[in-house]
Every structure is written in C-alpha cells, then in structure tokens.
A and B are shown apart, each in its own frame.
Chain A
Amino acid sequence: MKEITIALMGNPNVGKTSLFNALTGTHQYVANWPGVTVEKKTGVLKWKDYNVNVVDLPGIYTLNAKSIDEQIARDYLVNEKPDVIFNIIDGTNLRRNLYLTIQIIETGVKTVLVLNQMDEVKNLDIKIDTRELSKRLGIQVVETIATKGINVDDLMKSALTQDEKIKYMIYPMDLENEFSSIQTFIQKNENLRSFSLRWLTISLSEKDPYAMSIIEKAGLSLPDISVHDASLRIAKARYDFIDSIVKQIEIRPKEMWTLTDALDHVFTHKILGIPIFISIMWMIFEFTFSISAPLSDLLSKGFDVLGTYAHAIPGWAGSFIGDGLISGVGSVLTFVPLIFFLFFSMGILEDSGYMSRAAFLIDRIMHRFKLSGRAFIPLLLGFGCNASAIMTTRTLEGEKERLVSVLINPFATCSARLPIYVVLSAAFFGSFGGFAIFSIYLISIFVALTMAVVFNFILKNKENSPFIIEMPRYKLPTAKGLGIYTWSRGKHFLKKAGGIILGATAVVWLLSNLPPNSSIGNSFAAQIGKTISPILAPLGFDWHVTLSLIFGGVAKEVTVTTLGTFANGNIESFLPTILNPVTAYALMLFALLYIPCAATQATMKMETGSYKWPIFSVIWGLSLAYITAFVFEKIAYLVI
C-alpha cells in the first residue's frame, strides 16, 4: 500500500466541496485545524494500490495570507508539502482563478488543474482549449463537473504523471533582476533549503510577514534589499501573464445576460429586494419548524410508549430507566428532526448562492449596529444552535467584530429554547401561540443588534472591518451535497449536545428522586429550588421554575423536561398552576436572555481564547434577563 496525500485548493464557490465529496464519499472526517476553529476536512480514497489521504483546504483567493483561512492554506502548503495539489478552478472565471494557480505553482508542489463547472461553461457558450492551457502552465489539466460525478482514474493518473519542467516568463526582466539578489541570499543559507526557493524569494520581495518570520527563525537577518512597489508589480505581472494565456485559450461570446444577472435584477431590486428577503427568510423559518413538528411529535409519542414499558421493571431501576434515561434520550431525539431541517435550510441558502445576496441587502442595517452583512450569517445560524453558529464567526475578519458577534450570538434564540416557548404558548396563548413565539424571535433580533452596539461601545471598537463579499452564480443545490452537509452538522450537534443533555437529565432525575422514597416536593432538587427561588420570586417564578431554569442553564432543552418531571407528564395542566399569562411571557423573555448554555459557553471559550468572555456573558445575560422580565411584568400588569 502506497501512501499519498492530496490537498484540494481553490477559490470559494468553485465546487471544491463537491469534488471532495465525490472523492471521499462517506469516508470523511471533520475536525479543526490545530489551534483554530476553522474546519479541517480530511478523507480517504482507495485507488489501485494507493491509500490516498485527501485534505480539503479552506477556499482562498490568494496565498498572501491576511485572513485565517489564507494563513491555514499557506502554512499547510509551505510546511507540510503535500504530494499533490488539486487546484480546482471555475471554468467560467479563468482569469481570477488562475491568479491563485500561479502562486501555487510557484511553491513548487506538483499541481493538477481541475477545471470544474464545465457544464456551466457549456451553458455560457465558452470554449476553452484545455490542451493549450496545460502546455502553457506546464501542468496537467482535467475537466470535471464535480456535481455529476468525477472520473477518479483520470484525476489520479494526472496526479501521478511527472510534469515536464517548463520555464515561465511571468515577471519582467527588471523585476527578475531585483529578485535575483534575494534569491542568492536564500540559496546561500542551509536552513532555508526546505522551503521552495521561488515562493520564498517572491514573498520576501513583497515583505510578506510570514516569509520574514521564517528568515528570523533561521537566525538570519534580512538583506537590505527592497523591491519598490513589489506587490503591485508582481500582481500586475501575474495578471498580464494570465491575460496572455486566456486570450489564447478561451473564446467567449460577447457580454450576455445570464440567468444569474436576470435573477439578481429582481433579488437585489431597490423596492422588491427587501420584501423578497423577508419572504425567503420566513419560508425557511416556517419550513424548518412546520416540517419537523410531526416528526418530533411522532418521536416524542414513541418514547412515551417506550417509557411506559420501562415502568414494567420494578422499583427504582424502572423509574430511572423510564423517567430518567428514556425520557432524557427522548428529549434529545425529538429535536433531531428540527436540527436536521434547520441545517438543511441553511445549506440551501448557502449552496444556492442567495446567502451572499442576503448579506448584501442587509449590510447597511447591520452596519448601523457596527456589524457587517457577513455577521448576519452567524446571527441567523444562531437561531439554529448558538454553539455551532459561534464557530462560523471565524469568517469575520476584524478581531473586535468577531468578538462582538460571539457575544451577541446567545441572544439569537436557539432551537433548543423553542420547546420552552412552545410549551408555554400552548398552555397560555392558544391560537396566538404562533404569534407569541414569533414576537420572541423579533425581540431576540432586536436585543442581539442592540447589544452589538453596546458591546462595540464597551470594547471601544475603533476598527473598521471592510466588507468584500463575492456574489457567486446562482446554483441549484444538489441533493447529495445537502445531504452530506446536513448529516455532518446534525451529527456534530448531537455529539456535542446529546451527552450533556443526557447527563443533565440524569442529574435532574437523581436530584428529583433523592432522598429515596420522598415525594417530588421533598427531593434534593426541590430543596435547591426552594433555596434560590426567593431571588426569582419578584418575577412570579416559583421554585419549580427556578429549578428548571437552573438546569436549563446547562442545556436549554432540559428546562422543559424538568418541568415535565414535576408535572408527571402532563405539562399543559401543570403550568397554569404555577404561572399566569403575564408571568409565562416573562418567563419566555427570561429564558431568551438569561445565560448561554454549557455547550455555547464552551465554544465561546474556544473562539475567544479565554474564560473571561463566557463568564461575562453569564453575568450580563442574567442581569439583562432579570431586568427585562421585571419591567415587562410591571408594564403588563399596569396595562391589563
């Protein structure tokens, strides 16, 4: 068995993920790049007598690393030196894509150009002379339509073919002369042998910080050679080179109006754009919740039935299995449909290309709150699950903006809190239930945005993070791509939250059923609740509610199951005995604001690098929740 490592590199939106999926199928493994929370996808492919390790690198436009994604890709390329790079490019956009290609080739790693989206190329009547392209670049070129399946043999054969060394005439003579002195300097030093000469030379001439740090680490001091206007001249030279190639190999019809242009005319219309945005957001929202409801209910009923069977086991054990374990597992699994459909919807938004338009439309409003249109996405995802949404804040470029996005995310009411609203609304608000829940969502948005301004002020954020988003072509999402994405995200949530919830339910059961042979009212749980409840008494929350909130702090889903334990299964008739409509809504507000769940606190710590921020979130959230619920009740009692 021979081992070979292939890394996938390319611009965002070129179909890298489709290729990765096509190569590795279900043999994928998702982790994080060390020290950061950018996703690292690796997979395995068995081909002939090769064991192929496939690594999916983040989508980037250039190796001149300024953002985390670019740094990761560059570091991997320069330090780990994979055997082969599959450089995936979008056939309809050669010029821009080839910019990265040139940089990759300059690192000296064996590169295969994967010319993807050939179906769209054909649709647009573009003709590309692949053979000439291969000749001019000196590397193998393979045409693919990754979404329709790929020819692994072709790709692997190209990966293993030795390329003929050709000389590129990219940079003008004056630039090359300026390079040569740097080059000589590098060649003189043993310690720099492991790095690609070309890459290091050019990077040093641009005064790239990473390249300079390599020199320093090698104990050398930089030569006093400066190439004036290096970056600009290098970029220009590269594009001139690319232009000359593209002119020769590409024939495209004159500027035409594509379907994307036509759709954008309406989707970003001055007047229609926003209503369409609201419509799409609403449909996604309703679709997710409506479709998952029957499945969740079915599961819940199923577990109830299982639970009653468990009671056939006598005594303590039967109760533990029935009310503790099965009930606990049931409460986790009834959210599975919801999570899956939520991520399914997110996947559609992302893959179709509409996500960028949404960010574009909403940027002005976000900017008012000192966020960018891109921050809309983590905020939107927060409505699914705060813990995983916070992980997507990595795409934001400014440190401060990222921190603010992390801190406001818990105010986006996640799907785990939904059962709290649903149960309370069902018990108190009847046909206005849906409206009550929707109002909570609106308040959630309002609070999150307001907090963004507040946090920005507190953190004295003077940083201006620019907003450059690409508007990719509209595409029909593929079932396979969506399936893999939804499955991996859903699994991720289950793994993270599942254990905690199960554990929390077990703890709740234990505390509620000990000391043994006592009634619920005398259990340890009740004692804890009763001790703390005076604090929440002004809000009209008794010890049942207090205890549920405490347990809910660990995992929001548990709030309802705790109440359910007290209600002995009949929540709807139990709740009116401890709350009234005003306090019920106040409770909804409290649950919306009080603290991020344990999983969220964990990712907060991961993203911000310190415990300071989760702790701050807890204190801030509690205070805000208390004050808001209090004020609401006072006003409500005055009005009613």
Chain B
Amino acid sequence: MFKLMILASFGYAVLTIFMVLSRDYMDAFVALTITLIFIFGLSDVFNNKKSGIAHAMTGSIMGLIFEVYYVIALLASAFDNLINNGTFEFKPFLNFFIAMVLFIFSLYLFFHLRVEFKNKK
C-alpha cells in the first residue's frame, strides 16, 4: 500500500502542477488537497498506524469524486461552447487525460483498499 500511496501522491501532484499551468487555480487547489491527503498518510503507514489506510481510502474517494466532477465540468463547458459558439473545444486535454488516468488508478486503489480494510477489521 505504501508504494501505491507514493504513486498516488505523485500522480495528483502532477495534476496539480498542470492545472496551475492552465490557470485553473481552484481545481488545482482540490488536486493539491488530495495530494496532501496521501502525503500525510505516508508517515502514518510508515509508522504502521491504522490511520494510514484512512488517508489512502479518503484520498481515493476524494480523487474519484474529483475526477468525475472534473470530467463532467469539462464536458459541460465544451458543450456550452458548442451551443454558444458552434465550436467544439475540449480543453485542457492534457489535464483531462491525466484525470482519466488517475480515475482508473483511484478506482483500483479504492477496491484494493476496501479488501485490505475489511481484513484489518
């Protein structure tokens, strides 16, 4: 789980940076928060505290919610553009792509953690 959390922290940190670069500051804030959730959990896992898995769980759930929200928001604004200006612009595409990757990753992480959580009980 430790390795997965490091991956997650890295992934969301990357997303944060790209969002900042595309001037999407509030969404970057959310991505940053999720990154922090994972990072804070790392020390707990390292010390073998049960709260480590809490961080991982919460991080993955927030991540999933965030990705769903983000994709919907992007699609909606793309359609809005279509309706108003007649052009279909789907951007920023890179962020969308990273978000999709993280979504699949978070989904995997969530199910993996669910099993681990049940066993720890």
A282 adjacent to chain B (CB < 8 Å): yes
User: Which of A265, A271, A298: most chain B Cβ within 10 A?
Assistant: A265
B26 adjacent to chain A (CB < 8 Å): yes
Contact B69 A286 (CB under 8 A): yes
Contact B80 A297 (CB under 8 A): yes
A267 to B62, CA, bound (A): 10
CB interface residues, A 263-310, toward B, < 8 Å: 263, 265-267, 269, 271-272, 275-276, 278-279, 282-283, 286-287, 290-291, 293-294, 297-298, 301
A279 to B55, CA, bound (A): 16
Q: A276-B37, A298-B83 are in contact. Are A263 and B50 (CB under 8 A)?
A: no
A458 adjacent to chain B (CB < 8 Å): no
A298 to B33, CA, bound (A): 35
Contact A263 B57 (CB under 8 A): yes
Contact A279 B40 (CB under 8 A): no
Nearest Cβ in chain B — how far from A359, in angstroms? Answer: 19
Contact B84 A297 (CB under 8 A): yes
- The stretch of B3-11, B70-78, B89-97, B100-108 that contacts the partner chain: B70-78
**B residues within 8 Å of A by Cβ?**
26-27, 29-30, 32-34, 36-37, 40-41, 50-51, 53-55, 57-59, 61-62, 65-66, 69, 72-73, 76-77, 79-80, 82-84, 117, 121
A102 to B106, CA, bound (A): 46
CB interface residues, A 470-523, toward B, < 8 Å: none
A sample of 15 inter-chain contacts (CB < 8 A) reads: A259-B57, A262-B57, A265-B58, A266-B54, A266-B58, A272-B36, A272-B37, A275-B32, A276-B62, A278-B29, A278-B33, A282-B29, A293-B77, A293-B80, A297-B80
Q: A279 contacts which of B51, B61, B62 (Cβ < 8 Å)?
A: B62
Q: B72 contacts which of A259, A272, A278, A287 (Cβ < 8 Å)?
A: A287
A266 to B54, CA, bound (A): 7
Contact A262 B30 (CB under 8 A): no
Closest to B114 in A: A259
State which size class the interface on A falls in: 20 to 34
Chain A-chain B contacts (Cβ-Cβ < 8 Å), number = 84
Q: A286 contacts which of B26, B36, B54, B80 (Cβ < 8 Å)?
A: B26
Contacts of A637 in B (CB 8 A): none
Contact B36 A262 (CB under 8 A): no
Contact A279 B80 (CB under 8 A): no
Q: A262 contacts which of B54, B66, B69, B79 (Cβ < 8 Å)?
A: B54
Contact A290 B58 (CB under 8 A): no
A294 to B73, CA, bound (A): 11
Nearest Cβ in chain A — how far from B52, in angstroms? Answer: 10
A169 adjacent to chain B (CB < 8 Å): no
Contacts of A256 in B (CB 8 A): 121
Closest to A296 in B: B80
Q: B58 contacts which of A263, A271, A283, A294 (Cβ < 8 Å)?
A: A263
Contact B51 A294 (CB under 8 A): no
Contact B83 A297 (CB under 8 A): yes
Contact B33 A272 (CB under 8 A): yes
Nearest Cβ in chain A — how far from B23, in angstroms? Answer: 9
Closest to A435 in B: B25
Nearest Cβ in chain B — how far from A358, in angstroms? Answer: 14
Nearest Cβ in chain A — how far from B21, in angstroms? Answer: 16
Contacts of A279 in B (CB 8 A): 29-30, 33-34, 62, 66
Contacts of B37 in A (CB 8 A): 266, 272, 276
A278 to B62, CA, bound (A): 13
Contact B40 A269 (CB under 8 A): yes
A265 to B51, CA, bound (A): 7
Contact B83 A294 (CB under 8 A): yes
A256 to B121, CA, bound (A): 7
Q: B73 contacts which of A259, A278, A287, A297 (Cβ < 8 Å)?
A: A287
Q: A257-B50, A262-B58 are in contact. Are A294 and B121 (CB under 8 A)?
A: no
User: Which of B34, B55, B58, B79: most chain A Cβ within 10 A?
Assistant: B58
Contact B29 A266 (CB under 8 A): no
User: Which of A257, A263, A278, A294: most chain B Cβ within 10 A?
Assistant: A294
Nearest Cβ in chain A — how far from B12, in angstroms? Answer: 12
Contact A291 B72 (CB under 8 A): yes
Nearest Cβ in chain B — how far from A190, in angstroms? Answer: 60
Contact B77 A283 (CB under 8 A): no
Closest to B82 in A: A294
Nearest Cβ in chain B — how far from A54, in angstroms? Answer: 34
Contacts of B33 in A (CB 8 A): 272, 275-276, 278-279
CB interface residues, A 85-99, toward B, < 8 Å: none
Nearest Cβ in chain A — how far from B60, in angstroms? Answer: 11
Q: B54 contacts which of A263, A276, A294 (Cβ < 8 Å)?
A: A263
A597 to B81, CA, bound (A): 32
Q: A283-B69, A297-B83 are in contact. Are A272 and B40 (CB under 8 A)?
A: yes
Contacts of A278 in B (CB 8 A): 29, 33
Closest to A263 in B: B58
A294 to B29, CA, bound (A): 25
Contacts of A262 in B (CB 8 A): 51, 53-54, 57-58, 117
Apart from A265-B51, A283-B65, what 10 extra A-B contacts exist at CB < 8 Å? A262-B51, A262-B54, A263-B61, A266-B55, A276-B33, A282-B29, A286-B73, A291-B73, A294-B77, A297-B84
Contacts of A282 in B (CB 8 A): 26, 29-30
A22 to B30, CA, bound (A): 37
Contact A267 B58 (CB under 8 A): yes
Q: A259 contacts which of B79, B82, B83, B117 (Cβ < 8 Å)?
A: B117
Contacts of B50 in A (CB 8 A): 257
Closest to A298 in B: B83
Q: A272-B40, A275-B29, A282-B30 are in contact. Are A265 and B54 (CB under 8 A)?
A: yes
A295 to B91, CA, bound (A): 19
Closest to B77 in A: A290
Rank and list the top 5 A-B pairs by shortest CB-CB distance, nearest first.
A262-B54, A266-B58, A294-B79, A290-B73, A279-B30
Contact A294 B76 (CB under 8 A): yes
A124 to B86, CA, bound (A): 54
Contacts of B84 in A (CB 8 A): 297
User: Which of A256, A283, A297, A301: most chain B Cβ within 10 A?
Assistant: A283
Closest to B78 in A: A294
A269 to B36, CA, bound (A): 12
Contacts of A266 in B (CB 8 A): 37, 41, 54-55, 57-59
A297 to B83, CA, bound (A): 7
Contacts of B29 in A (CB 8 A): 275, 278-279, 282
Nearest Cβ in chain A — how far from B48, in angstroms? Answer: 14
Contact A291 B76 (CB under 8 A): yes
